[in-house]
Amino acid sequence: MGSILSMANSNVRSVDSREEHGSSSNKRAKITTTYEYGSYSRIIPALPDELSFQILARLPRIYYLKVKMVSRAWKAAITSSELSQLRRELGVTEEWLYILTKAEANKLDCFALDPLFQKWQRLPSMPSFVNEEESTGRTRFSGFRMGTVVGSSIRVADFVRGWFSRRYGLDQMPFCGCSVGVADGCLYVLGGFSKAVALKCVWRYNPCLNLWQEVNPMMSGRAFSKASLLKSKLYVVGGVSRGQNGLLPLRSGEVFDPKTGLWSELPEMPFVKAQVLPTAFLADVLKPIATGMASYKGKLYVPQSLYSWPFFFDIGGEIYDSELNSWSSMPDGLGDGWPARQAGTKLGMVVNDELYTLEPSSSLDSGQIKKYDSEEDVWRTIVPQVPVHDFTDAESPYLLASLHGRLHVITKGANNNLQVMQAVLQNSTESVPHEENVLWSIVASKNFGAAELVSCQVLDV
């Protein structure tokens, strides 16, 4: 997707896996208020730049890969913020699906899907830097070696078991445990575990530049936290860090403003229902943790659970109001009825202001799509059977995405083909359609081999 562009901010480090060796800085396009095109003063010599931008803005994004190679002037224009802003003003932005997978080679791979052209693109490799504890001479930014963070030998279930039974030492848990979110048209990978260290670092993928950048770190190191976008800001809550006697569940949260690049603290989650346990023993054994998060009705909805391996217990959840900067209890039907998957993780996806989830089936080869009825405070089944394969040894056997105003299910088939599926209801006037009235359409597929699903996000650029 092109070579790396030099950035004006020296505090942001960038990585592009396709930068050519031996290229000098004077050969890179300069992104400034006035473009420098060498001997040309215009993007297209025969046209005014305003008209050239109008033409480029209307091109499908899939063509930008080759268009950038036309000239330095075209590359500078394609990767400029002006073009991105113009696409938004013209209403020609495109939603692409970004999927993160974990390969057996202990690394994260990222892929982008253009659903209109049904084409996949591989993103540049995630950066590789030294562990936070090993880094020296850097006070503002701390990186990590991704290869030592992501492991395939220990599952989430083993991680939770180790939390309570101390079966595994923390320094032997090479999990990633990172969170993934979106803000301002960019993809963010946040925190995670590097052996015994809960990381603060945050990496941002810019789809226009096709590169990863390290931005301001979080205020707290955290792994297995939950991330969501609310009112153009990226919120991260919960997760775990390392305490004196093992892993420490975090009640804290923080919010990132992509305009300023700064983090701010949130009030701690009260976990009100966790405070009414009958005995001190249960209070010590049962660990409260946020198990999901969704931006719904202008607020953050965070379902919560209490863990005591191998069991977890629903305790409802809490709602964060950004205007009041405070937490309140979630309605009982919403929190207690929110379906959970392996290790208590609760999926939630908002499509056209409606909250959906996927409830796994005990048969391991199907599930149900449910929608929350806010008036009745109940979850209702709207798709009775979803053809997913709930592999017990997979961390994320299936994911949900809101793409082009419809709910999509991402899962892997028995042949390792990743499938992006969409349900189409046919001739059904009933509130709960029968299985024969639901046609599952495969939007796109790709063979990822033995790689496991980690997360997915949609960017509208």
Are residues 284 and 338 part of one domain?
yes
Q: Please give the pLDDT value at position 342.
A: 63
Which residue segment(s) compose the domain that 401 sits in? 347-461
Are residues 378 and 435 part of one domain?
yes
Are residues 333 and 289 part of one domain?
yes
Token code pair at residue 17? 């896996």
Q: Answer whether residue 405 shows pLDDT above 80.
A: yes
Q: Which of 302, 322, 345 is the last residue of a domain?
A: 345
Flag whether 101 is in a domain: no
Are residues 460 and 359 part of one domain?
yes
Are residues 335 and 315 part of one domain?
yes
Flag whether 156 is in a domain: no
Q: Answer whether residue 90 shows pLDDT above 50.
A: yes
Q: Which of 307, 326, 345 is the last residue of a domain?
A: 345
Flag whether 194 is in a domain: no
**204 close to 186: Cβ distance less than 8 angstroms:** yes
Give the residue with greater pLDDT, 428 vs 201. 201
Q: Please give the pLDDT value at position 274.
A: 80
Are residues 456 and 390 part of one domain?
yes
Flag whether 132 is in a domain: no
Q: Answer whether residue 205 shows pLDDT above 70.
A: yes
Are residues 459 and 357 part of one domain?
yes
Q: Which of 310, 345, 380 is the last residue of a domain?
A: 345
Give the residue with greater pLDDT, 361 vs 132. 361
Residue whose C-alpha is closest to residue 450's, from 177, 109, 160: 109
Task: Tell me the per-residue pLDDT of 287-326, one tens digit each, with 9 for 90 and over.
Answer: 888 999 999 999 999 999 887 765 678 889 999 999 999 9
Task: Tell me the per-residue pLDDT of 93-132, one tens digit each, with 9 for 90 and over.
Answer: 999 999 998 876 557 889 999 999 999 999 998 775 434 4
Are residues 335 and 363 part of one domain?
no
**183 close to 457: Cβ distance less than 8 angstroms:** no
Are residues 320 and 398 part of one domain?
no
0.95 surpassed by pTM: no
Flag whether 71 is in a domain: yes
Are residues 384 and 444 part of one domain?
yes
Q: Answer whether residue 137 shows pLDDT above 70.
A: no
Are residues 412 and 378 part of one domain?
yes
Confidence of residue 392 (pLDDT cuts 50, 70, 90): low
How deeply is 278 buried, as exposed, middle or buried, from its count of CB atoms within 10 A (0-12, 13-18, 19+)? exposed
Question: Torsion over CA of 409, 356, 207 and 233, rounded to 10 degrees?
Answer: -160
Q: Tell which phi-psi region holds residue 22, choosing left (phi > 0), alpha (psi between -120 and 50) or beta.
A: left
Q: Please give the pLDDT value at position 385.
A: 86
Are residues 456 and 355 part of one domain?
yes
Q: Please give the pLDDT value at position 390.
A: 59
Cα separation of 80 and 57, whole Å?
Answer: 11
**417 close to 410: Cβ distance less than 8 angstroms:** no
Please state the domain count of the chain: 3
Question: Torsion over CA of 74, 76, 79 and 83, rounded to 10 degrees?
Answer: -70
Average pLDDT over residues 259-287: 82
DSSP, res 37: B
Flag whether 233 is in a domain: no
